[in-house]
Amino acid sequence: MLKKGVERKEVLRALGEVFRAHGYEGASLTLITEATGLGKGSLYHLFPGGKEQMATEVLADIDAWFELNIYAPLRNADDPARAIAAMIAGVDQYFHSGGRVCLVGMVALGAARDTFAASVDDYFARWQVALAQLLRRSGLSRSQAQRRAEDALLTIQGALVLARARSDAGIFRRALSDLTARLLAPPE
């Protein structure tokens, strides 16, 4: 029998990778059973809501990871430079230096966007707010802090797209490095 909490997390992780690799509509039940090692019976027992519930929970799981490893440290930090460095390091780790795609960004671009619009918006909104508040504490005006936080999110997303499009992880690393400098620059 499943150790409920633990196993479910592992299933969600496998689901996440399938969605990342094939997109929401492209992740067929066949692919999902292969990736998770679970038959349809188990799958629909764990997720009575089908694919949509799977994706919803995967997004929630991603959100939880970012809340714990990115947003909360940003909120609780008192040294902006260290906090930003930690965020960049966390992002670099999470996205495997550009080798791993952002599922949230992917969903945002696809047809499934409307179904998950709230989760998608929330993911970016909470990140931006947490980062902007930190930047504000470091001396930036409210609007400058918001703009820089927006720039940070957009740079990360763009770097992921371009790195994958050109199969060049260097793009991602260079973008993160430049971004760090831009975030830490003195107020204009």
Contact partner at residue 166 from a copy of itself, DNA, none, CB < 5 to 8 Å by partner kind: a copy of itself
Contact call for residues 179 and 152 (beta carbons, < 8 A): yes
Q: DSSP labels for 51-76?
A: HHHHHHHHHHHHHHHHIIIIIHHHHH
Closest approach of a copy of itself to the CB of residue 84, in Å: 18
Q: Are 132 and 145 in contact (CB under 8 A)?
A: yes
Tokens of 4: 């409920």
Nearer to DNA, 51 or 148 (CB): 51
Instruction: Give the shortest CB-182-to-a copy of itself separation in angstroms.
Output: 9
Q: Which of residues 101-140 bind a copy of itself (CB under 8 A)?
A: 101, 104-106, 108-111, 113, 117, 120-121, 123-125
Q: Which of the listed partners (DNA, a copy of itself, none) does 101 bind, with a CB threshold of 5 to 8 Å by partner kind? A: a copy of itself
Cβ of residue 169: shortest distance to a copy of itself, in angstroms? 13
Rounded distance between C-alpha atoms, residue 18 and residue 28, angstroms: 9
- Residue 106 backbone phi and psi in degrees, to 5: -60, -50
**And the tokens for 62?**
């991603």
Which residues here bind a copy of itself, judged by CB under 8 A? 21-23, 25-26, 101, 104-106, 108-111, 113, 117, 120-121, 123-125, 147, 150-151, 153-162, 164-167, 171, 174-175, 178
